[in-house]
Amino acid sequence: MKNGKYGIGILGLGGRGVFFGGGAFVRNGHFYIECLCDVRQDKIDSAIDWLKDHDLLEQPVKGYTDIDAFLAHPGLDAVVVATPDFAHADCAVKVLQAKKNMFLVKPMAQSIADCDRIIGAWQGSDVVFMVGLELRYCTLMRDCKALIEAGEIGKVIIGTVVDNVSVGGQYYFHGPRRRKAYIKSLLLEKGTHSLDLANWLVNATPRKVYASGGLDVYGGDAPNDKRCRDCEIRDTCPEFKDTNNFKMDYGAVLSDVPDYCVFARECDVSDNSHVLVDYDNGARLTYMECHFTPEYTREFMFVGDKGKIEAFYDNEQNFKIKLWKRFEKEPRYIYPEKSEGGHGGGDTGIVEAFLGCLQEGKPSMKGAKGARDSAAIAIAAAESEESGMPVLIPDVPYPQGIEI
């Protein structure tokens, strides 16, 4: 620590690494940026320029293209891992083996075995490990959790969760995330947030998954190298992407983003999926994810033996909860408070939670079970989509006496 603040290093300098790792952590007031790491020097240079322009650097920072040199940097108290998903497991294991506190951007990993490998690497490291499933910390979901834990709907028996993703084409199908070889599936890349919330609210472990999905809007016959900037219908195509002024849902404005045609031949991830989940306590869940809806929202519905709860989420925080007891004529409506920060206040909330774990000074991997279970559902669902068969999720042994 320096001047009472934790020195963080950001590993992976894409949008989430820079804007969340650099923004949310530094603005918390208890962190400063000690060093940066990416395999590309131009990413390091651009990140330093952006951080300087936004007054997020307290001191000159060192940039590394080698992870081992980065992890040996003096004054490094914690690492934010924000690499592409395929690199999560190897990078996370290296960070834990170096005995550095770690915040790992979701999803945990691209295979269940790799999720379990990360958990295994944490054991004996004596550090804090958290996965960035920040929606648990938004006011809407915290209120839902409190109501369910208070017994308002009784034992949760069945649920439905819907991810309406109006930005699916803009976020995913213009670049490498349109390929299974890069992200495995959009259920994993996008859906783990909502799947984690479902597991958290049901308060159970997923055991069996069946899924069906398709690529019904995106993909096609366009050449893989065709780009919006050179397209003959760029002025009329609703899927056109402006590479110099693209705004993400968490507020970041990006430049030089990929703008390959969303109707290219190489697109092979499903743009819509339907997932069925069986839990170890007998509860069941239906999850739907669609990347060509008009709206960008999340919808939750859970029914217990005493009532029903519905919740509505959007990035503008028009949050609403509908609570309806069995045998009562009218429901009750609850409007959670708004919070500062992206993801309905979740970005600031999860950084505060990570800080609390560091200040407590005890080894922990808070939320790791939820992160593993949500990734496991998505990974199993992708396998089920391809095989047409249900997929069982294996157990993982967790260490005793530790918050997971």
Cα 292 from Cα 294, distance rounded (Å)? 7
Q: Which residues does 401 contact at the CB level (< 8 Å), separation at least 6?
A: none
Cα 106 from Cα 100, distance rounded (Å)? 18
- All structural domains of the chain: 137-334 (3.30.360.10)
Nearest by Cα to 97 from 122, 116, 80, 74 = 122
Position 21 scores a pLDDT of 85
Per-residue tokens: 202: 């049901």
Residue pair 91/98 in contact (Cβ under 8 Å)? The answer is no
Position 22 scores a pLDDT of 86
Position 242 scores a pLDDT of 85
Q: What is the pLDDT along the chain (404 residues), one digit of tens a residue?
A: 898 999 999 999 988 899 888 889 999 999 999 999 999 999 999 999 999 999 999 999 999 999 999 999 999 999 999 999 999 999 999 999 999 999 999 999 999 999 999 999 999 899 999 999 999 999 999 999 999 999 999 999 999 999 999 999 999 999 999 999 999 999 999 999 999 999 999 999 999 999 999 999 999 999 999 999 999 999 999 999 988 777 666 556 666 789 999 999 999 999 999 999 999 999 999 999 999 999 999 999 999 999 999 999 998 999 999 999 999 999 999 999 988 877 888 899 999 999 999 999 999 998 899 999 999 999 999 999 999 999 999 988 787 777 77
Cα maximum dimension of the chain: 65
Cα 151 from Cα 314, distance rounded (Å)? 26
Position 92 scores a pLDDT of 98
Taking the mean position of all CA atoms in its chain, how far away is CA 99? 24
Cα 203 from Cα 395, distance rounded (Å)? 16
Cα 392 from Cα 110, distance rounded (Å)? 16
Residue pair 254/46 in contact (Cβ under 8 Å)? The answer is no
The letter for the amino acid at 72 is A
**Phi, psi (deg, nearest 5) at residue 382:** -65, -40
